[in-house]
Structure 1
Amino acid sequence: MTETAKPRQGGKGSKKGKTRRRKPARAPAGAPPGRIVAQPGAHATRLSFTAFHPGGLSHPEDLDAALAILAAPPPSAGQDAPGGGLWIDIVGLADTARIESVCARLGLHTLSVADIFSTGQRPKTEIYETYVHVVLRQPLSTTPYVDEQLTLILGDRFVLTVQERPGDSFDPVRQRLTVGGPRIRSSAGYLAYALMDALVDAYFPVLEAYGERTEELDDRILDGAGDGVIGEVHSLRRELLSLRHTLWPQREAVSALMRHDVPYVTEELATYLRDVADHSSQLMDMVEVYREVAQGLVDLHLSMMSNRMNEIMKVLTIIATIFIPITFIAGLYGMNFSTESPWNMPELKWKYGYLYALGLMLCSTAIMLFTFWRHGWIGGRQKTGARTPESQGHQRGRQDGAG
């Protein structure tokens, strides 16, 4: 049973100008298991068939011809086991009836068919009696990070891949199939490994782009970027968190193919899958490192803002401190006491009293500026004889090296 879900409308507080992940359609609460929910705005469905064996490669036009080739015993090409298999690649989820028909011909469970159309799932591996159902996420863009669900089903001499939209990372695998390497055409299991390996390797350029973006933000913060950079840092952290939520279960999904008695996964194939799991672990390590660096960028920005505020407060404090004696002198000579008494500011009747007051103000200012400079508060000069922890550590290092 198929139904088309209505797209969700933005609420009153929805914000414009932000790229958000498209929410997948879901079956209503209480719906029976295996109910298919068509995705709104799904891409047109396109099927391609590739039949391969060690001796050759062909592209059947429809499913009947592909299954006929799969049922016929392929030429052994001088090997003890015939090998080979069929790769069915489905792109686009618009034609639900056609996809259901293909899945039914391959003997897939209704829950597996429903999982194909439920595009918001986390990566996982499910073991059925006659096939293996693997859900993965493949990247579509680097920054901002956007991905889509990829369903890979490994059965008896066939591999089924279902993608949401055109564009994938399988071109190297297609080229290897066309060239005719003896290993890539050996079995459907090895083809499934090659597809998963290509998908996992596609994440390395994504993380390299995030590494370059992190270094760029670090340079901008050190160069004194404004408050707008903190929004970019938070966006970076959010995207890295989304990557982590993808790569963590994806590593577990690949590892599950080796931990269980999985059909069609031989010991030799498990050896190759360990390499895919190792690459997934490397990706997780890179994501964790970049997340820590992104958190450090927040702390660095706050520290730079605090240092800038301290510099401003220091300048204002120095200016205010300089004007304290000037204000005192001006206030002292501004008192209107009688000048008849010799104790009441005789300078008021002095010929050079005004110049004397100005000179006193200038001398006090010069003395204070010299004192600030001697203590290293202005001019970038540190007080003579003062040792910072860095200089003490450098001095100890020089002594150790001399010893």
Structure 2
Amino acid sequence: MSSTGKTSPHGKRHRRRPSRAPAGAPPGRIVPQPGAAPTRLRLTRFTPDMLSHAVDLDAGLAKGLPGGLWIDIAGLADHTRIEALCSRLGLHPLSVADIFNTGQRPKTEVYDGYVHVVLRQPHAVAPYEDEQLTLILGEGFVLTVQETPDDCFDPVRQRLEAGGPRIRDSAGYLAYALIDALIDSYYPLLESYGEHTEDLEDRILMAPADGTVGEIHRLRRELLALRHTLWPQREAVGALLRHDVPFVTDAVRTYLRDCADHSFQLMDMLEVYREVAQGLVDLHLSSLSNRMNEVMKVLTVIATIFIPMTFIAGLYGMNFDRASPFNMPELGWRYGYFFALGLMGLSAAAMLALFYRHGWIGGRKGAQPPAPGTARPPGEDKAPPAGGRPGAK
């Protein structure tokens, strides 16, 4: 699930499948991604009193420099340069291969000398698409590798530039700030899904359309894909709270608990939206059934009204011999035609009055409560005795 993809002739967007090593390949083999974004490298060295952006890679990675270092890589096109950088940082070949295998499940792994965290970075609005973000926390440095230059770390960069409290204290706190920014970026996405769900519910209640079912299924599919990200991501953040994770101090672990709480909150919001989306299908079917019932009720009322009228018309159309006084003498009556029409109209009015009395037409739903000021039946205007219900002794 990446931010780039192809659109089919039918307008359906397909997510680009991440490249994988062929079956039986040796572990740690790197498979470059076709069509990957150009590589952009930024080095930021910071201390509580200083911030500098290094241009030269050798100068930025020189040992013995004070403070921490943030290495930010966007784009995986120049895989040779990224491999050389990872080799200088002493990363394990399996860890380097995971950077280029962008279909990784969110996870936290502890290697010798650093912590490897894989997270999924969402885009701001629906439909849901994400990209892989790799965060490596080592001794005095933080390495972030993402697929595209678009990220959610601008607030963290602004805090680094402004020199706010704690942001320049250590590489561990910077790693927490980056993870916290990524977790918080899911809130606008979930809020957009909540608004979309409410809009669908209103449209279904007002006038359900034929295309609404497909839209509901797309919503459920995207929420399911989002769940496949948030569930393991919650576990990955929770794994950083273990005391055996290096470079995560007790002070940073306190802030990471807040990230874990946000992850649980996101899962709760997602589960609520999934249940509502599941109920939209039943609501749509119920709305369609109610509309069909209303249509059938109207047609039934019309047909029922015409039944006695049809009987009267058929009765007077039998053309009996009028020589007998018992064979419909009103056929020769001067006002017989108007009498038949009046009888038909009277039967229709009687049927309408009967339907209205039973609440089948006209919106009358049974007995209504008495209007204020109207007289009540005898005995109802008496107040109950003090200290008990009416009739209690």
Give 1:20 shift: 2.4
Tell whether the 8 Å contact from 2:5 to 2:14 is kept in structure 1 after alignment: no
Give 1:156 shift: 1.0
Quick one: which of 42, 61, 70 aligns to 1:67?
Answer: 61
1:35 matched residue in structure 2: 29
CA distance in 1, matches of 2:368, 2:71: 78
Deviates more, 1:295-304 or 1:283-292: 295-304
What do the CA deviations read for 1:87-136 (whole angstroms, capped 9, x no partner)?
A: 10110000111110011110111111110011111111111121111000
Q: 1:8 to 1:266 in 2, by over 3 A?
A: closer
Q: Secondary structure at the match of 1:144?
A: coil
Within 5 Å, give how 1:7-26 maps onto structure 2: 16-26=10-20
Give 1:299 shift: 2.1
Aligned positions, number: 369
- Backbone CA RMSD of aligned residues: 2.1
AA at the equivalent of 1:63: L
Tell whether the 8 Å contact from 1:339 to 1:345 is kept in structure 2 after alignment: yes
Quick one: which of 66, 69, 72 aligns to 1:89?
Answer: 72
**Gapped runs of 5+ residues in structure 1?**
1-6, 75-83, 387-398
Quick one: which of 247, 270, 277 aligns to 2:253?
Answer: 270
What do the CA deviations read for 1:13-47 (whole angstroms, capped 9, x no partner)?
A: x7721122211111111111111111111000111
CA distance in 2, matches of 1:206, 1:257: 25
Q: Secondary structure at the match of 1:264?
A: coil
What do the CA deviations read for 1:266-323 (whole angstroms, capped 9, x no partner)?
A: 2221111111000111111111111112222222222211111111000000011011
Quick one: which of 336, 348, 362 aligns to 2:319?
Answer: 336
1:183 matched residue in structure 2: 166
CA distance in 2, matches of 1:9, 1:278: 36
AA at the equivalent of 1:93: L
Give 1:219 shift: 2.1
Tell whether the 8 Å contact from 2:40 to 2:75 is kept in structure 1 after alignment: yes
2:197 matched residue in structure 1: 214
Q: Secondary structure at the match of 2:14?
A: coil
- 1:374 maps to 2:357: yes
CA distance in 1, matches of 2:242, 2:304: 73
Deviates more, 1:298-307 or 1:223-232: 223-232
Tell whether the 8 Å contact from 2:135 to 2:144 is kept in structure 1 after alignment: yes
What do the CA deviations read for 1:355-375 (whole angstroms, capped 9, x no partner)?
A: 111111111000000000111
Within 5 Å, give how 1:1-400 maps onto structure 2: 16-68=10-62, 71-74=63-66, 84-259=67-242, 261-384=244-367
CA distance in 2, matches of 1:384, 1:111: 76
Q: 1:103 to 1:228 in 2, by over 3 A?
A: same
CA distance in 2, matches of 1:165, 1:303: 44
Larger proportion of helix: 1
AA at the equivalent of 1:16: H
Tell whether the 8 Å contact from 1:131 to 1:156 is kept in structure 2 after alignment: yes
CA distance in 1, matches of 2:234, 2:367: 58
CA distance in 2, matches of 1:226, 1:278: 40
Tell whether the 8 Å contact from 1:374 to 1:382 is kept in structure 2 after alignment: no
Give 1:8 shift: 11
Deviates more, 1:225-234 or 1:107-116: 225-234
2:381 matched residue in structure 1: none
Q: 1:327 to 1:24 in 2, by over 3 A?
A: same
Q: Identity of counterpart residues, as a percentage?
A: 72
CA distance in 2, matches of 1:260, 1:15: 52
Q: 1:190 to 1:384 in 2, by over 3 A?
A: closer
Deviates more, 1:375-384 or 1:228-237: 228-237
CA distance in 2, matches of 1:260, 1:127: 12
CA distance in 1, matches of 2:81, 2:303: 80
CA distance in 2, matches of 1:73, 1:47: 19
Tell whether the 8 Å contact from 1:347 to 1:353 is kept in structure 2 after alignment: yes
Deviates more, 1:33-42 or 1:234-243: 234-243
Give 1:241 shift: 1.4
What do the CA deviations read for 1:321-373 (whole angstroms, capped 9, x no partner)?
A: 01111111111111133222222222222222221111111110000000001
Tell whether the 8 Å contact from 2:156 to 2:177 is kept in structure 1 after alignment: yes
CA distance in 2, matches of 1:248, 1:115: 20
Tell whether the 8 Å contact from 2:142 to 2:171 is kept in structure 1 after alignment: yes
CA distance in 1, matches of 2:6, 2:160: 44
CA distance in 1, matches of 2:59, 2:164: 24
Q: Secondary structure at the match of 1:297?
A: helix
CA distance in 1, matches of 2:269, 2:201: 17
What TM-score does the superposition give when structure 1 sets the normalisation length? 0.87
Tell whether the 8 Å contact from 2:153 to 2:178 is kept in structure 1 after alignment: yes
Q: Secondary structure at the match of 2:334?
A: coil
Give 1:187 shift: 1.0
CA distance in 1, matches of 2:317, 2:218: 60
Give 1:73 shift: 4.5
AA at the equivalent of 2:201: D
